Structure 1
């Protein structure tokens, strides 16, 4: 059942992410800033334990 438990942990991680929204002009003109914000938000989320 290791695969099943891993699947549950992945779903828990995905659902624990808060939505991040950007205006279209920001995505089109400030792509680097938008990507940086996404990475910062991902770093805040809990990381799955190894194994």
Structure 2
């Protein structure tokens, strides 16, 4: 018996977390939540550490 574990990078896990929060708290579509999650994480990642 073999099981295949799907690899999910930390980035993918972060995107999924933000997407799920958006889906729970807005009426946006899944596609819109995914796109917004990617944009939010990109923005947060580009903010200098001192400002966070």
Task: Answer whether TM exceeds 0.5 for this pair.
Answer: no
Which structure would you say has the larger RCO, counting Cα contacts within 8 Å and 6 or more residues apart? 1
Q: TM-score, normalised by structure 2?
A: 0.37
Point out the structure with max Rg over C-alpha.
1
